[in-house]
Chains A and B, each alone.
Chain A
Amino acid sequence: MAAAMSETSGHLVEVKHLSVEFHTRNGVVPAVRDVSWHIDRGETLAILGESGSGKSVSSSALMGLIDIPPGRITSGEVLYCGEDLLKATPERQREINGSRIAMVFQDTLAALNPVYPIGWQVAETFRTHGVARAEANAKALELLERVGLPNAAARFRDYPHQFSGGQRQRIMIAMAIALNPDLLIADEPTTALDVTVQARILGLLKELQRERGMGLLMITHDLGIVAGMADRVVIMNAGRIVEAGTVKQVFESPQHPYTRSLLDAIPGRHGFPDIAERAAPAEPLLRVEELTKEYVTPAGLFRPARPPVRALGGVSFTLAQGETLGIVGESGSGKSTLVRTLIGLEEATSGDAFFRGRSLIDPTAETRDLAQRQIQMVFQDPTASLNPRMSVFEIVSEPWAIHRDALPRAQWEQRVGDLLEEVGLKREHAGRHPHQFSGGQRQRIAIARALALKPDIIICDEAVSSLDVSVQAQVIALLKALKDEFGLSYLFIAHDLPVVRSFADRVLVMHKGMIVEQGPTREIFENPQHDYTRELLNADPLLSHHAA
């Protein structure tokens, strides 16, 4: 069917000098300026950029998804087999969307309709193109089996919420490839997924591409995905293409300073630091012994008790003064439960944890007060962890407002200013509100708040996961500097292995509520003992790319 079309330009899709701007009340904001790229059949092109770089705009233009107004396409062409889609009628655009050019999104729960079974939704794609119901269902099932949905026949009538994120992404892919498109656009397809799941989904995409000979356009912020997947890469920054070329070319000899800074921000780009082994002190700062947490569903009136769900199964480790302990695991591995139990948000079922020899699980009032001062947290999403209605001054000084004896009121202003400077912000920022800062700056505010009570331990719960790579590197550098300055210990929870590799002294790998392996960072990464650790390391596109 596709071969019947004439291909005048030679390229499957070609974007030429595309400029798009958005009209807002505050004036015209250019989204992309003079963007050109092309993609051929059977090729993988990655568009790499941080948030706000305009990396998704050109594919939106290709699919006719730019709202006009406020958007306006000021110049350029978007050619599909030589046909300018910007001039196409809405009918023609609809004809191409889905059947010739298909798209896979990041948020699979939002992209699938919650009130229809998944089989129905996949078959719908066929039915809208005039295939009879029974045949459509058969084709849908075949597709779901093709994308590796486990038990596809039995789960044909299940609803989207009954599947895991990775399975939903498989269903989305099945729908996208249903009509044999020439081009598949994947917009951050694995950002919300765990590394091992990500690796399998990316593998599936590659396989399908080879099998069907379609073009694959990956839009991503993840250098690892680019390295592992793409043939060519286009790097975007502030709405412009700063560099384009084959992945090898760009990674080995980056031309543009932005590309270089981006590549330098990859943890371990210049080798990982050698961490000196240190003798563990007699009494570690934090000692966790056989900590177990089970969730019990009590028996109802007409319902027997279910077996308890074990979120943490006998976790033991220690954290020494001045040490950074990385905790690695995928979602559901129990790392968040571990943290929540340590800081008293959840009650442990059994086991104990000691901070300076005092029990955190059954704390006296005095211990609780001590722990609340000495153990601080930095959360994943700084937008959520800072109260949007409070000024930066109120946010950073809140620990003193809670613990009245910590610092006299008269010194608050001075100290807030000091702390802000400490984390690389300015004194004047105290009067502003969180929304006036970028994501990285907000995380700095959260770090300043964590430092206010001069704690011993800071728990970083995925503290850099939601930040762009270059910002991530800056925040990690800040955490390192603060550690040396204040003698802090970190519990550093992350799913991003290269980050842990570059930052932690020791690593603890968690899987299904258990610690499967722990030891010095170097040993874990270079000589993993447990199968799961090996799988985890192999799944990471950056680490495995480096190894290859």
Chain B
Amino acid sequence: MTMTAPPIAMTEPSLWRQSLGLLWRDKFAFVAVLFLLLVVFAALFGSTIFGQSATRINLAARNAPPMSMHLGWHYVLGADSLGRSILARIAVGTRNTMMVAGLSVIASLLIGSLLGFIAGYRADWTTGVIMRVADVLMSFPSLLLAMIVLYVLGAGIANLVLVLAITRIPIYLRTTRAEVLEIRERTFVVAAKVMGASPLRLVWRHIRPTVTPTLVTIATLEFAFVMLSESSLSFLGLGIQAPEFTWGAMVAQGQSYLGTAWWVAFWPGLAITLTAMSLNLVANWLRIVTDPVQRWRLEARSSSNGGGNE
């Protein structure tokens, strides 16, 4: 309990180097960050590199299996039912996938947690209104809601993001509210209140930092869920419209060939899994690093190349 944690060095290296050192100590998180950098790279430059090969139909390469190198290196992961390179499609599809999933997760996270803070901190009619609306949202089948909204507003990336964000708001809202309700009764919050801290300060300086790690973890899990919901909407023709496509749409398209050409659905599915897993690992690392009580776990870990802050 006492001074077991290593003392903080007086001359600390820059924050950037320090976090890099801490990242290196968690090898899983390190690899995850590398993978996410690759995803970001693909989102930015995927279409420049692969250009037309993601959409060009090549009937000679229909359902070509992985490692069909004789067709060109683009076909290393195989080809889909129209002979399009899966590698190219995954790379080019990254941007749409990330945009839809990222935007809707961020939007629902922000709106949900904001409403959650209000519902958790204020104990008046606003709480009742917010919670009942959330109940209605949760009890209504989200896919049905999405179909109605998209049918009325028309399919498109913006509407898709809107629908996915709205249906996932209650998750963040309820979690945030539950945590706020518990944390606001903790003694350190009461202590600040007694000193005269404003509600804004209580929420921002005391409650928010404690809730954030939970929310970030949920958001990373939601990322995968949103990607798959988007694919089912796309499957119903309400999501992304051809010729635009996403990883989810690729999985949906490959489902019918699972018996004969598993790779059509497998590779985009793997991309979704790896992205979600990497985000989760990074979120976990972030949670430990930002928690002063847990941080020593990383700092105490021996680092093989001495890239620490000793």
Inside 8 A of A90's CB, which chain B residues have their CB? none
Inside 8 A of A379's CB, which chain B residues have their CB? 187, 190-191
Q: Nearest Cβ distance between residue B196 and chain A, in whole angstroms?
A: 3
Contact B196 A433 (CB under 8 A): no
Inside 8 A of A435's CB, which chain B residues have their CB? 5, 292-293
* Contact residue among B4, B187, B197, B290 (Cβ-Cβ distance under 8 Å from A381): B187
* Contact residue among B8, B188, B195 (Cβ-Cβ distance under 8 Å from A402): B195
Give the distance in Å from the alpha carbon of A385 to the alpha carbon of B2 in the complex.
17
Contact B195 A398 (CB under 8 A): yes
Inside 8 A of A345's CB, which chain B residues have their CB? 190, 193-194
Contact B193 A369 (CB under 8 A): no
Contact B191 A377 (CB under 8 A): yes
Give the distance in Å from the alpha carbon of A248 to the alpha carbon of B234 in the complex.
83
* Contact residue among B7, B187, B290 (Cβ-Cβ distance under 8 Å from A385): B187
Inside 8 A of B198's CB, which chain A residues have their CB? 402
**Which residues of chain B from 184 to 206 have a CB within 8 Å of any chain A CB?**
186-188, 190-198, 201, 205-206
Contact B300 A398 (CB under 8 A): no
Contact A372 B196 (CB under 8 A): yes
Give the distance in Å from the alpha carbon of A52 to the alpha carbon of B1 in the complex.
9
B60 close to chain A: CB less than 8 A: no
Can you name the residue of chain B whose Cβ is closest to the Cβ of A403?
A: B196
* Contact residue among A386, A401, A436 (Cβ-Cβ distance under 8 Å from B5): A436
B135 close to chain A: CB less than 8 A: no
Inside 8 A of B3's CB, which chain A residues have their CB? 436-438
A424 close to chain B: CB less than 8 A: no
Can you name the residue of chain A whose Cβ is closest to the Cβ of B4?
A: A26
Contact A433 B293 (CB under 8 A): yes
Give the distance in Å from the alpha carbon of A177 to the alpha carbon of B51 in the complex.
81
Q: A384-B186, A389-B210 are in contact. Are A372 and B293 (CB under 8 A)?
A: no
Q: A26-B300, A438-B2 are in contact. Are A385 and B188 (CB under 8 A)?
A: yes
Contact B291 A369 (CB under 8 A): no
Interface residues as binary, A419-431 with B (CB distance below 8 Å gives 1, 0 otherwise): 0000000001001
Inside 8 A of B7's CB, which chain A residues have their CB? 432
Inside 8 A of B291's CB, which chain A residues have their CB? 388-389
**Which residues of chain B from 254 to 298 have a CB within 8 Å of any chain A CB?**
290-293
B209 close to chain A: CB less than 8 A: yes
Q: A26-B4, A439-B1 are in contact. Are A433 and B292 (CB under 8 A)?
A: yes
**Which residues of chain A from 97 to 147 have a CB within 8 Å of any chain B CB?**
none
**Which residues of chain B from 168 to 224 have a CB within 8 Å of any chain A CB?**
186-188, 190-198, 201, 205-206, 209-210
Inside 8 A of B4's CB, which chain A residues have their CB? 26, 436
A376 close to chain B: CB less than 8 A: yes
Can you name the residue of chain B whose Cβ is closest to the Cβ of A436?
A: B5
Contact B196 A388 (CB under 8 A): no
Contact B191 A385 (CB under 8 A): yes
Give the distance in Å from the alpha carbon of A453 to the alpha carbon of B196 in the complex.
12
Inside 8 A of B5's CB, which chain A residues have their CB? 435-436
A387 close to chain B: CB less than 8 A: yes
List 7 tightest A-B contacts by C-beta distance, closest first.
Answer: A372-B196, A433-B292, A384-B187, A385-B187, A387-B188, A438-B2, A435-B293
